[in-house]
Amino acid sequence: MTQPTPTQTTSDAASSLTIRFLGHSAFLFSSGGFQVLIDPFIQGNPKSPVTLDEALGWNVNAVLVSHAHGDHWGNALDFGKAGIPIIGTAEVGGYAGQHGAANAIGANIGGTVKGEWGQVTLTPAWHSSSFPDGSYGGMPTGLVIEMGGKRVYFAGDTGRFSDMALIGEGGLDLAILPIGDNYTMGPIEAAKCLDLLKPTAAMPMHYGTFPALTGDPQVFAAEAEKRGVKVYLPEPGEEIKL
């Protein structure tokens, strides 16, 4: 079983964050021995570098869900049934609780949920949201995650919108943006978001998993670099460290 190595627990752990890309829009954040899983689409994800059994063996402290579509909700319920908190909108939390998750937490736009690992604030996202069974999933969201002394904006599925300027007001160490096109914005639109967010660095997601997601990460990288923004392009399974 592959076990991710937690971020070191020495004095610099509080100011470092390791992010492992799990393909599509799934990520594992690690810092100071804590681990948070975002949009855990593992089973059925052709880009996933791990199996669901491997992931369930990790010491995950929370699962964050941006919205209810199957490629983001993914295997959240498998973790929730194991007692790991699922954090999302009230609708996501309510659905999780009704389907066997022991510690689901429902929040909403503008709300912040805190844990020993750090905190997450839900932001707007322009998209749609329904569970695989057709149940209403509430509003889609982005996530501002504060962990390991870093502030990361995970946009979820969205198009560009002007209020991204407000999300960036607190400073961002990293913006993770969808670039696949068709269901979200494409790479050029995503790069334009950087003018509003003003992050130190950026990373694309939600591309190349399925034929419709044609966005090219190299186009995004070129446009981001014109703006002086550092770009990370990890392959599924690879890590970056902030």
Checking if the pLDDT of 192 tops 90, the result is yes
Checking if the pLDDT of 1 tops 80, the result is no
- CATH top-level class of 11-241: alpha beta
The per-residue pLDDT for range 42-92, each reduced to its tens digit, is: 999 999 999 999 999 999 999 999 999 999 999 999 999 999 999 999 999
Largest interatomic CA distance in the chain: 48
pLDDT score at 7: 38
* pLDDT above 70: percentage of residues in the chain: 94
pLDDT score at 6: 43
pLDDT score at 15: 81
The per-residue pLDDT for range 2-39, each reduced to its tens digit, is: 444 443 433 445 689 999 999 999 999 999 999 999 99
d(CA 178, CA 209): 12
pTM given for the model: 0.94
- Angle subtended at Cα 13 by Cα 11 and Cα 14, rounded to the nearest 5 degrees: 85
| C-alpha closest to that of 26 among 168, 214, 203 | 203
pLDDT score at 14: 61
- Sequence spans of domains, the chain: 11-241
Per-residue pLDDT, averaged over 109-131, amounts to: 98
